[in-house]
């Protein structure tokens, strides 16, 4: 197999963003003496496909079709790659100078390991409240893994490369997974479970536009999918599943059930007090969490809204687990990073204090309710 780097980009529309990426690849490739090819794997509608074909001709790229699953697109691109190293990029990123060489040098060390290299992803563009809330949460930590760890068990394939032979030795991306996300997590965990090593390189940098994360509508759908994907990852990687810290959705569901039981036993007299208690429980959790997470230069409102991110994902995981009657998994979580506790510590502390304040307040409301009813 020829030594070089094949860049594989799954595409669907986003033609203007794709051209920005192709320009950045061409610019970087012109600065190095490494064989490079670009492969676009597309399933756009006809009008956009025609525009992508024009771009491919302009920037010396190949276009493959016939696959709709994003993991299947990456598999097809890697299969058709002529070089031994394959770099996966998302169509809505741009790479900085030195990225191609950083990936190539990491994999071309002359040793069997590492078999993969993760670059960092930096988000750029006009910020919005929806994006600021997401960016302050641990949800975006994987994009900056290269800044906190030299090796990782997995990484986002928005900017990640592999040795082609090893990539296919574990079957590539699993296209049987529902398309909720998580294919990159699954692939990485299968590779590292086989004692392979994925390194990081902070000099391989992709800039990701905020545009595709800028609205609540975009993010609610994405977060719901992420939560559902967690269920399927737990099924496939039980060796990395553990009982989670209590989450606010679990606490609030417990409070609702407790309120319903009390009203059933004691009657509806003063039941409005319990309803107010349930509403205030949510508010108190958010304020406590936000006040603890707030830093000197951060915005309190951003942190107040932050828990919504994980509440959506937790509810989606609970929904998927209940739907398949795997009730134990409602209370579990995947260990995405080996030093997860240290990386999540601020999040854990803020959430724990929020849960404590919410639980104590609700307990006080229950005592008040009981004192007022016979």
Domain identity same for 199 and 275 = no
Domain identity same for 190 and 328 = no
CA 190 to chain CA centroid, Å, is: 17
Q: List, for residues 239-291, the tens digit of each pLDDT value.
A: 999 988 788 888 998 999 999 999 888 888 878 899 999 999 999 999 999 99
Cα separation, 335 vs 158, in Å, equals 21
**208 DSSP β-pair partners:** 93, 123
Q: List, for residues 36-52, the tens digit of each pLDDT value.
A: 999 999 999 999 999 99
Q: What is the predicted pLDDT for the residue at 341?
A: 63
Residue 155 forms part of a structural domain: yes
Angle, CA 297 vertex, CA 294 and CA 303 arms, to 5°? 30
The DSSP secondary-structure symbol of 299 reads -
Domain identity same for 69 and 139 = yes
Cβ neighbours of residue 345 closer than 8 Å, sequence gap 6 or more: none
Residue 152 forms part of a structural domain: yes
Q: Of 198, 214, 230, which one is at a domain's C-terminal end?
A: 214
Q: Is 86 helix (H, G, I), strand (E, B) or coil?
A: strand
Domain identity same for 63 and 117 = yes
Q: In angstroms, what CA-CA distances link 138 with 145, 165, 290, 299?
A: 11, 33, 14, 16
Residue 77 forms part of a structural domain: yes
Side-chain half-sphere exposure of 306, counting CA atoms within 13 A: 29
The pLDDT-based confidence of 195 (bands split at 50, 70, 90) is: confident
The total domain count for the chain is 2
Domain identity same for 317 and 356 = yes
Mean pLDDT of 89-103: 97
Question: For the chain, first and last CA: distance in Å?
Answer: 82
The pLDDT-based confidence of 372 (bands split at 50, 70, 90) is: confident
Cα separation, 360 vs 354, in Å, equals 10
Cα separation, 277 vs 266, in Å, equals 17
Domain identity same for 55 and 133 = yes
Q: What is the predicted pLDDT for the residue at 233?
A: 96
Closest CA to 182 of 141, 137, 236: 236
- CATH number for position 87: 3.90.550.10
Residue 233 forms part of a structural domain: no
The pLDDT-based confidence of 66 (bands split at 50, 70, 90) is: confident
The pLDDT-based confidence of 374 (bands split at 50, 70, 90) is: low
Residue 363 forms part of a structural domain: yes
Q: Is 133 helix (H, G, I), strand (E, B) or coil?
A: helix
Q: List, for residues 172-188, the tens digit of each pLDDT value.
A: 999 999 989 999 999 99
Which residue do the tokens 């107040």 mark?
304
Domain identity same for 61 and 143 = yes
Domain identity same for 66 and 175 = yes
Residue 311 has a CB neighbour count (10 Å cut-off) of: 19
Cβ 95 vs Cβ 24: under 8 Å: yes
Angle, CA 270 vertex, CA 265 and CA 273 arms, to 5°? 110
Q: What is the predicted pLDDT for the residue at 239?
A: 92
Radius of gyration of the chain, Cα coordinates, nearest whole angstrom: 24
Domain identity same for 268 and 355 = yes
Q: What is the predicted pLDDT for the residue at 342?
A: 66
Domain identity same for 261 and 366 = yes
Domain identity same for 28 and 162 = yes
Average pLDDT, the chain: 92
Domain identity same for 101 and 166 = yes
Residue 142 forms part of a structural domain: yes
Containing 38, the helix (H) or strand (E) segment is strand 36-42
Predicted TM-score of the model (pTM): 0.88
Cβ neighbours of residue 46 closer than 8 Å, sequence gap 6 or more: none
Instruction: Please give the biggest Cα pair distance in the chain.
Output: 84
Domain extent, residue 335, equals 242-372
């Amino acid at each position: 197999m020829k030594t070089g780097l094949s860049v594989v980009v799954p595409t669907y529309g986003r033609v203007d963003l794709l051209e920005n990426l192709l320009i950045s690849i061409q610019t970087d490739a012109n600065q190095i003496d490494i064989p490079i090819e670009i492969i676009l794997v597309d399933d756009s509608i006809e009008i956009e496909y025609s525009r992508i074909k024009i771009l491919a001709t302009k920037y010396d790229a190949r276009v493959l079709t016939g696959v709709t699953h994003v993991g299947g697109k990456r598999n097809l691109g890697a299969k058709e790659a002529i070089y031994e190293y394959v770099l996966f990029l998302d169509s809505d990123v741009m790479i900085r100078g030195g990225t191609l060489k950083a990936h190539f040098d990491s994999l071309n060390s002359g040793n069997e390991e590492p078999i993969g290299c993760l670059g960092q992803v930096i988000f750029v563009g006009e910020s919005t409240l929806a994006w600021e809330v997401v960016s302050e949460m641990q949800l975006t930590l994987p994009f900056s893994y290269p800044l906190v760890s030299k090796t990782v068990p997995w990484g986002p394939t928005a900017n990640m490369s592999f040795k082609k032979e090893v990539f296919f030795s574990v079957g590539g991306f699993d296209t049987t997974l529902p398309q909720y996300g998580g294919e990159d997590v699954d692939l990485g965990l299968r590779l590292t479970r086989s004692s392979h090593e994925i390194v990081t390189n902070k000099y391989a940098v992709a800039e990701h536009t905020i545009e595709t994360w800028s609205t609540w509508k975009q993010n609610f759908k994405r977060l719901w999918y992420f939560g559902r994907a967690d269920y399927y990852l737990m099924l496939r990687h039980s060796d990395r599943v553990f009982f989670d810290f209590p989450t606010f959705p679990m606490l609030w569901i417990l409070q609702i059930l407790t309120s319903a039981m009390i009203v059933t036993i004691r009657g509806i007299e003063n039941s409005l007090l319990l309803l107010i208690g349930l509403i205030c429980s949510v508010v108190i959790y958010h304020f406590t969490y936000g006040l603890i997470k707030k830093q000197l230069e951060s915005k309190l409102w951003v942190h107040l809204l932050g828990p919504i991110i994980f509440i959506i994902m937790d509810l989606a995981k609970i929904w998927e687990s209940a739907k398949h009657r795997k009730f134990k998994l409602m209370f579990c979580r995947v260990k995405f990073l080996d030093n997860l506790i240290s990386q999540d510590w601020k999040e854990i502390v803020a959430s724990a204090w929020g849960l404590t304040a919410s639980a104590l307040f609700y307990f006080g409301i229950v005592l008040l309710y009981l004192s007022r009813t016979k």
